[in-house]
Structure 1
Amino acid sequence: MSDRLIIERWGENSAPWIRAVREGRIESRALVTDTAIIETIMQRDPATVLDIGCGEGWLARALTARGVDVLGIDVIPSLVESARAAGGGRFAKISQEEFADGAVSECFDVCVCNFSLFGDEVVRRLMARMSVSLKPGGAFIAQTMHPCASGGGVDYRDGWREGTWAGIDVEFSDPAPWYFRTLQAWVSLCGDTGLRIVALQETIHPETRQLLSLIIVGEPERASTHPNSAS
């Protein structure tokens, strides 16, 4: 398992993923998590947002409709093309590795990763970049599967896991692997990458009352040295 395999598998599954998102085939998103991430972002009253791992662009469209200037980036060409065709934001083919290396020169009020942090070391590098990618007072917001509900029936410890398309009634090929982190690991990772956690939110299925996702809101501990940080 590796970050590279994640990209390969998502490329293979981009078409059914677009269908699943646009047809509302993912129950947890339709019921809870889509609204949760939009509300968490809008609580910051942002003028600009960077959507990292934007997929087919649904979140960018939702935020643009609320008056936010959104740049969405993703490594999968077919997803970026689909997002551009649908409109409602600016989109670019940029990988998380390229972002971490400085491929995006703008600064933003919010940088968001909505169910797009699948890797290991690349996630650490991406989060460390927030100190120069966020404007003063800006926030990093990440929504991920809740660690206490997504362990996959194995030991509760960090490590690579097999992916699954369970709960989505669309035909996919092999799922992408992902790197599981415990709740403590997420907290530690924020500290290690210079982010001070200002909020932890949990979403719950309205019928089963089971945990669905964890939303982390962090602010850089260090002042940004980006040349455009005050713009």
Structure 2
Amino acid sequence: MSAPPYSDLQVVASWHDNALAWTDAVRAQQIESRRLVTDAAIVDAVVGRAPQSLLDAGCGEGWLMRALSGRVPRCIGTDVVPALVERAAEAGGGDVHLASYEDLAAGALGLKVDVVACNFALIGDDSTRALFRAVPRLLTAGGAFIVQTLHPLTACGDQPYVDGWRAGSWSGFGPAFRNPAPWYFRTLSSWLALFQRHGLAVRELREPRHPATGKPASVIFIAEADAPNLTHT
């Protein structure tokens, strides 16, 4: 049987359809794992670098920029979905631009920042590779690329532990959501290889655990350009 015809274009189309529902869900703190674990985890990871400037790539409705207000002097957000960019700009917290990962890879905006953060915003395949191509040019000397994403071991479910597209689901998100986005699954070793191929060495790997299940709620990679040593926490 051939693989389902999923693509990055379907991911973007889904987020166009669900931008307003997503904004409402995030701002009402309806997503338990974010409320209990992952929101604080990404904030701690960024603040730990004490950056003067941050790019929130795939910023969505702008939550992370607002959470870092007062702790990071300059926050910039980019997203490919106009409705999300509009909501982020209205809420404040930073400068927001309509730009895809491919735009960033092509040098759009001409940014240099201390931290590039990507919080559950690496969903596709080609688009993810485009952002990884962009990051080394976006970082200042000693800067960091911080990625929080689904933990491969818990997100794999009962399916084979191999890279590939998976069907999406809005299960538990309510009737306002429709047209779930497919997503591209990567094993832990594939994530690490992706960093390595783009000249980014993972300095630290964090696995924030859900307080009820004790299982990883996410994985956080903290990488630098050509930095040595991997620690695991």
The 5 A counterparts of 1:1-231 are 1-169=6-174, 171-221=176-226
- TM (norm. structure 2) is 0.92
Q: Is the Cα contact below 8 Å between 1:130 and 1:220 reproduced in 2? A: no
Q: Is the Cα contact below 8 Å between 1:100 and 1:129 reproduced in 2? A: yes
Say which SS state the counterpart of residue 149 (structure 1) adopts.
Answer: helix
What is aligned with 1:227? none
Q: Is the Cα contact below 8 Å between 2:76 and 2:96 reproduced in 1? A: yes
What is aligned with 2:231? none
Higher relative contact order (Cα pairs below 8 Å, separated by 6+ residues): 1
Q: Distance in 2 between matches of 1:41 and 1:99?
A: 20
- TM (norm. structure 1) is 0.93
Gaps of 5+ in 1: 223-231
What's the offset of the Cα at 1:170? 5.5
Q: Is the Cα contact below 8 Å between 2:54 and 2:72 reproduced in 1? A: no
Count, aligned residues: 222
For 2:166, the aligned partner's letter is: R
Say which SS state the counterpart of residue 91 (structure 1) adopts.
Answer: strand
What's the offset of the Cα at 1:169? 4.0
CA RMSD of superposed structures (Å): 1.2
Q: Distance in 2 between matches of 1:169 and 1:22?
A: 15
For 2:21, the aligned partner's letter is: P
For 1:70, the aligned partner's letter is: C
Which range moved further: 121-130 or 101-110? 121-130
